[in-house]
Structure 1
Amino acid sequence: MTTFLRRVLFIGILAVIWEVTSRFSSLPDFMFPSLTQVLKTLFTGIVNGQITIAIVKSMSRLLIGFSVAILIGLTLGYLIWRFKLVEDTLGFLVTALQSIPSIVWFPLAIIWFGLNDFSILFIVTIGATWTMTISATSGFKNVPTLYQRVAKTLGSNGLHFLRTVILPASVPQIISGLRIAWAFSWRALMAGELLGSGGGLGHLLETGRSLGQMDLVISVMIIIGIIGTMMYLRCDKGCRIAFS
């Protein structure tokens, strides 16, 4: 049996257990909705555009914030690897900042930018930047010295040296960092949208909670899980193509 079939069978078993448990549970439907009810709400939300619009809004924020975090992280990682002074100062600070949950920055983001998209984008960027910086630094430092000496002997330097030697040799570490940074930024986005405004999947979660519609809440949770898993699994292939 292939891995795909095992996963499908496992999810099918969980679905049956969920449906049976909800039907025989003493909890009311609004507290513990059945799988059938959740799927109906999910289908309705996609058809009428409520969930679809929220997905587009969240993904646009995520792609912008995550892209900015990658650029900043790679740049800072290069500077920390290249210059000893930067490593002893900024490198130490980045390590300290990485231990701070990104949602902690949200009160400051509201004060600086207001309760709008900029605050959420800031949280998403912060959520991925420090992890990306540390992973990039580690990747650059682990490039074999032999590769660097051979490249310099053949006349490679500057941007050519960085593009043809350092980045390709750092790909495994950078990909690992991208995966972790993606997870952090995705969680930061959901937390930011829960507390913020302007639509998105997180805001839709808060709407379902305030209205007592647990079927809507679970529907959005399913969407969040699916999107997060798909992007995580495709990250490895996409990153290898980008850095090849």
Structure 2
Amino acid sequence: MTHVPSPGLGTSGNDDPDQCTESVATALELGYRHLDTAQMYENEDAVGDGIAESDVPREDVFLATKVLPENLAPEDVLRTADESLDRLGVEQVDLFYVHWPMKAYDAEETLPAFDELREDGVTKNVGVSNFTVELLEEADEILDSPIVANQVEMHPLLPQDDLLDYCRAHDITVVAYAPLMRGDASDVDELVDLAEQYDTTPEAISLAWLDAREGVVPIPKATGEEHLRANLSPPELTDDELAQIDAIDREERLVDPDDAAWN
């Protein structure tokens, strides 16, 4: 099973080039070894500049990007993957994702192109994003490459237990986006109460809950050094406290495919 370092640094919405470059370089200096970007985010150049500015060797960085849904026709997958490498300033990425199974996505047509990316050395691994169990089963039948990761929204209000069980059973890492709940953590009483006990934030409690889940790698977004440091060391919750969060009787999805630019 391919090791996906945890936590990763999410870069969605980080579209100020200088800020993005600085945050990536700072994250690597602090110890992050997993960077997540996408064609959709329009910041691959800045992420690549951050890697180049860092003293961390490229081979020590797990770099992931994603193919835009409009680019999922096979010829566009191959063309735009090369363009992503050019923007990132690298010869290979560690993981290329199908970003969303929508728009130009056709499993029978799209997925063999990702096999080709792996065969040609453009990427070491193939992943998918926002795939249900049914879509994963379909993809597994078509792909020659193992599915290394499925990147999905996951947090205490969207635990996705059935999907996680499937991924664990098939050695697929779940990469969790929106792990800090995009400002909604402070509206969840259980997280607020635990945050007060630990003298931390509800967002940190959300991250701690994800950190305790086997097979899950959160990718919190952060720019400033203080937040980057905090996301590296969430508190360690007890089994009873984790169970309190598991028992939250409320479900809320924060990301809509129509607002996919924020994934």
Verify same fold: TM over 0.5: no
Q: Give the TM-score normalised by structure 2.
A: 0.22
More strand by share: 2
**Who wins on radius of gyration, i.e. which is larger?**
1
Larger RCO (CA within 8 A; separation ≥ 6)? 1
